[in-house]
Amino acid sequence: MTRNFLVTGAAGFIGRNVMQQLQSQGIKVSAIFNTPPDPQDINKVTDWRDGGVTEANLSDLMPDCSVIIHCAGSGSVAHSLNAPAEDFQSNVITMQLVLEAARRQGGVSVVFPSSAGVYGAVDTMPIRVDTPNHPVSPYGVNKLIAELLVQQYGRHFNVPATIVRLFSVYGPQLRKQLLWDACCKLGKGDALFFGTGEETRDWVHVEDAARLLIRAADVASPDCVIVNGGTGASVTIRRMIEGLAERMGIGAEIRFNQQTRAGDPKHYAADISEALATGWTPQKDLEQGLDDYVAWFLREMAQQDKDG
């Protein structure tokens, strides 16, 4: 059966990759953008609206939609601490609007890119999908509330859904978080970083994350399938930063200040059994992923210098 996808947050880091991969597969895509989109982003889009996730925008695009991948939302712990009301609006209220639109339309599946932040600090690795949820930030709490809404609409209103708990997503175009911040610091000659360097994360390339979100639509059900979006590998922060420095041609010794923040998880690695069961596998090798990221970052810096 031919499926038509609606991608919210289609100008964002993950949403844009999802939209582009769907387009490359010849799948009909509609999109909701938070701001007026770049012309190249709407070249192959069947229909689109800007202004973000609103009842009106959803109502306009729902009649031709069979799957919603809801990528709109905040992805920042810091933002949730600085602007809690905005984070709640972005991550919870928009989720409810999407679910209600799917309920009213009928026959529409919902894929929700959640976050490993719902787990909080976990001692046992790898993290399984049945690990208790103890989020330690407003961001993690709001993602968990959104998950509960998804489960409610499945249980009570028969809306088919899949929740994908993404771990540390990286790749070209990501202008925030560790890789971006580290490249910017290294470029300025600063090789001192927060933490011990031995903290670990599960790094999944954005192309693999996008493929998983698309594949997750195949297993959506009112029972609300939950999968972890990672690679199953645990990589230290030190290795990531040293890999960036090497590719940038920076020979300075990478140092860490040995400080820690209360609540920050020391180690993260995903049990991806449920994701693999969908037929998806991660394909992007970490070394190639770092090559691609640094090459993109250096192009960005060169363009900024050119623009003055």
Q: For the segment 143-199, what is each residue's pLDDT rounded down to a tens digit?
A: 999 999 999 999 999 999 999 999 999 999 999 999 999 999 999 999 999 999 999
User: What is the domain count for the chain?
Assistant: 1
In a domain, 67, yes or no: yes
DSSP three-state, residue 124: coil
**DSSP count for the chain of H helices, then E strands:** 11, 13
Q: Which of the four pLDDT bands, split at 50, 70 and 90, describes residue 263?
A: low
Q: Which of 55, 71, 59, 52 is nearest to 7 (CA)?
A: 71
Q: Counting every residue, how long is the chain?
A: 308
SS (H, E, C) 232-270: CCCEEHHHHHHHHHHHHCCCCCCEECCCCCCCCCCCCCE
Residue keyed to tokens 């499926």: 3
The confidence band for 49, taking pLDDT boundaries of 50, 70 and 90, is very high
Using omega within 30 degrees of 0 as the cis cutoff, is the peptide bond preceding 138 cis? no
Listed in order, strand segments (DSSP E) in the chain are 5-8, 29-32, 47-49, 67-70, 109-115, 161-166, 168-170, 192-193, 200-201, 203-205, 225-229, 235-236, 255-256
The sign of the dihedral angle between the CA atoms of 125, 130, 131, 137 is positive
**Average pLDDT value for the chain:** 95
Residue 205 falls in which region: left (phi positive, over 0), alpha (psi -120 to 50) or beta:
beta
CATH code for the domain of 105: 3.40.50.720
Q: What tokens does 183 get?
A: 């490249």
Does residue 112 form part of some domain?
yes
Q: Which has more confidence, 15 or 307?
A: 15
Radius of gyration of the chain (CA): 19
Q: Is the predicted pLDDT of residue 84 greater than 90, yes or no?
A: yes
Domain presence at residue 125 = yes
Whether 301 is in a domain gets the answer no
pLDDT of 39 > 80? The answer is yes
Residue 41 within a domain? yes
Q: Using CA atoms, how far apart are residues 48 and 29, in angstroms rounded to an integer?
A: 9
Q: Is the pLDDT of residue 12 over 90?
A: yes
| Cβ count within 10 A of residue 158 | 12
- The residues near 304 (Cβ < 8 Å, ≥ 6 apart) are none
pLDDT computed for residue 304 by the predictor: 87
Query: What are 7's two structure tokens?
Result: 């991608």
Summarize pLDDT for 231-260 with one digit per residue, the tens. 999 999 999 999 999 999 999 999 999 998
Distance CA 32, CA 52 (A): 6
Residue 303 inside a domain? The answer is no
User: Which has the higher per-residue pLDDT, 43 or 138?
Assistant: 138
Full-model pTM:
0.96
Domain ranges, residue 221: 5-171+203-232
**Residue 1: pLDDT band with limits 50, 70, 90:** low
Distance between CA atoms of residues 16 and 13, nearest Å = 6
Residue 273 lies in a domain: no
Average pLDDT over residues 70-96: 95
**Residue 225, in any domain of the structure:** yes
Please report which confidence band the pLDDT of residue 307 belongs to, taking 50, 70 and 90 as the band edges: confident
Distance separating alpha carbons of residues 79 and 183, to the nearest angstrom: 21
Tell me the two tokens of residue 102.
């799917």
Per-residue pLDDT tens over the stretch 15-27:
999 999 999 999 9
Report CA torsion sign: 217, 219, 223, 227. negative
**Most distant CA atoms of the chain, gap in Å:** 58
